[in-house]
Amino acid sequence: MGLNLNDKKAVVAEVSAKVATAQTVVVAEYRGIQVAHLTQLRAKARTQGVYLRVLKNTLARRAVEGTQFANLADSMTGPLIYSISDDAVAAAKVIADFAKTNDKLVITAGNYAGKQLDKAAVVALASIPSRDVLIAQLLGVMLAPVSGFARGLAALAAKKSEGEAPVAEVAAEEAPAAA
């Protein structure tokens, strides 16, 4: 059963709203994938914050029209699933990870910040660590000098306290002998 005009307008408006805030769009052909596997893909996409949807290509073309993703319109042929994310890497990572385990999902194209990506570029984008991992690595690099300095001070304090203990014991022993 097809969509009526109002339903089509609603779908285009919904996808346009997602595309307006997106950094990455990945398009993949899903021909021959079982429904259970698509359900797993959707669940994983949901946990990663990725908008994943099967759309009519004409509706998808209208949704990306006039955006930085307009050059994807040439790649929109066949049964496609669209992966859209605000995170630069998440959409590519979800699709590429699923494609590793399911050879029927074929990455056809992608777009990152207005730049057209082929399959190899989408896989390369997916191999980049996520934003959270990169932030954690950056904080680790920034904290390394501070934590090294703190460990040095702690070692110096421990060494100094070891050296003071015998002096205190000697002074305590000499005091009763003098009396």
Per-residue pLDDT tens over the stretch 20-59: 888 889 999 988 888 999 999 899 989 988 999 888 888 8
The helix or strand, by DSSP H or E, that contains position 112, with its residue range, turns out to be: strand 106-112
Below-70 pLDDT ranges, the chain: 1-2, 163-179
Q: Dihedral through CA 80, CA 82, CA 83, CA 88, nearest 10?
A: 110
Strand partners, 84: 25, 51
How far from the centroid of its chain's Cα atoms is residue 94's Cα? 9
- Name residues whose C-beta falls within 8 Å of residue 100's C-beta, 6 or more positions apart in sequence: none
**Kind of pairing, strands 115-117 and 80-85?**
unpaired
pLDDT of res. 28? 92
Nearest to 64 by CA among 11, 16, 27: 16
| Nearest-angstrom CA–CA distance, 81 and 38 | 10
pLDDT of res. 48? 87
